[in-house]
Structure 1
Amino acid sequence: MAPRRHSGFTLIEVMIVVIIVGILMSVALPSYQESLRKGRRAEAKAAMADVANRQEAFMLDRSSYTDDMTRLGFGADPFTSAEGHYSIDSSGACDPNGPSDITRCYTVTATPVSGGIQDEDTRCHTFSLSSRGSKTALKKDGSDADDLCW
């Protein structure tokens, strides 16, 4: 009688595969999460562009901008973006070197919803767009973000 051969994997072989998969995941997962964050940032930019378009239409009709998002046709002030990741608001704070007046200029700001997924985005946390065309982004700590955010 010939000795019987067992087919299958040994415990050491399985552990080696688990370790390799773990190393691959530790490299791939942060990169994947950053890609998701970048995609959600596009949501903020699109919502801000929508507000800017509505502000310009409001200006044509009433010769003034507004800081009340409901007057622009949104359901709330501030309103939450389509996917619910950002809170979008508008203000008259658009001239850092002088007085600001909502009748002449506006700044739209997108801030991640507190406790939401995008609130963990430390690199490009808050976005702003002014009626004068300036675009800014801030890190979560409040410092200026790099130009790659826009």
Structure 2
Amino acid sequence: MKTEFKTKFLQHLNIKKQEEGFTLIELLVVVIIIGILAAVALPSLLSQANKAKQVEARNNVGAMNRAQQAFFLEKGQFGAYNDLGVGIQTETTNYKYEFSPAAPTTANSGIAILASTLTKGLKPYTGLVWAEVDATTSQSTTRALLCEEKLPKADAGGPTVAAPAVACGAMVNLGE
């Protein structure tokens, strides 16, 4: 082969190598695929975020239920929020926590811990704690329930079971 021909051939290959890239159609296909994946994954991601926010309320109400039971064991009555010393804020970004009745009486009929939603689309919760007296031994024991609203609230609001009770009513019983 002639040297001139070899040189031109190598220059042609070098220029062709520099012009490599993606076509517009290839880029559009990639963007469409990414869009479809995002459309499928986004609703699942958002529902997981709401579930994580609801776990906060379940954990806090459960901790306050256990604190009320411990307080009753020590003092023989249920305590107000400040008496428990649980270190849980009364209001977070997503929930507001309060007791019903706010200042428990010595009658020990029970107490409800209410987790009202401050963000729409979340489920409110109620924690119920009450004392039972065993008829044979005359000893008091405490029982507790955690109740969850069946459907998320369309706007901010409290749970349907607000007064001290021994059942979740229309709410879902998550157990003791």
Q: TM-score, normalised by structure 2?
A: 0.59
Question: Is residue 89 from structure 1 mapped to residue 98 from structure 2 by the alignment?
Answer: yes
Deviation for aligned residue 1:149? 8.2
Inter-CA distance 51–18: structure 2 relative to 1 (3 Å threshold): same
Cα separation, 1, equivalents of 2:147 and 2:70: 20
Deviation of 1:148 after TM superposition, in Å, equals: 10
User: Gaps (5+ residues) in structure 2?
Assistant: 1-7, 130-143, 161-169
- Which of the numbers 58, 74, 95 marks the counterpart of 2:71? 58
Q: CA deviation at 1:92?
A: 3.2
C-alpha change, 1:108 and 1:59, in structure 2 (3 Å) is: same
Q: Deviations over 1:9-67 (max 9, x none)?
A: 1122212211211111011011012122222322211111110111112212332223x
> What CA distance in whole angstroms lies between the structure 2 residues aligned with 1:39 and 1:57?
27
Q: Secondary structure at the match of 2:145?
A: coil
Amino acid at match of 2:95: Y
Cα separation, 2, equivalents of 1:148 and 1:63: 26
TM-score (norm 1): 0.68
Q: Contact 1:44–1:86 (CA<8 Å) still a contact in 2?
A: yes
8 Å contact 1:92–1:102 — kept in the other structure? no
Distance 1:149 1:31 in 2: 23
Q: Determine the C-alpha separation between the residues in 1 that align with 2:114 and 2:74.
A: 23
Q: Which has the higher contact order (CA 8 A, sep 6+)?
A: 2
Paired with 1:30 and 1:146, the residues of 2 have a C-alpha distance of 26
1:130 pairs with 2:143: no
Distance 1:45 1:89, change over 3 A: same
Q: CA RMSD in A?
A: 3.5
Q: May I ask how many residue pairs the two structures share in their alignment? A: 133
Pick the aligned partner of 1:39 from 52, 61, 66: 52
Tell me, yes or no, if structure 1 residue 22 matches structure 2 residue 20.
no
Query: Max radius of gyration: which structure?
Result: 2
Match of 1:8 among 21, 38, 43: 21
| Structure 1 contact 88–110 (Cα < 8 Å) conserved | yes
Gaps of 5+ in 1: 94-99
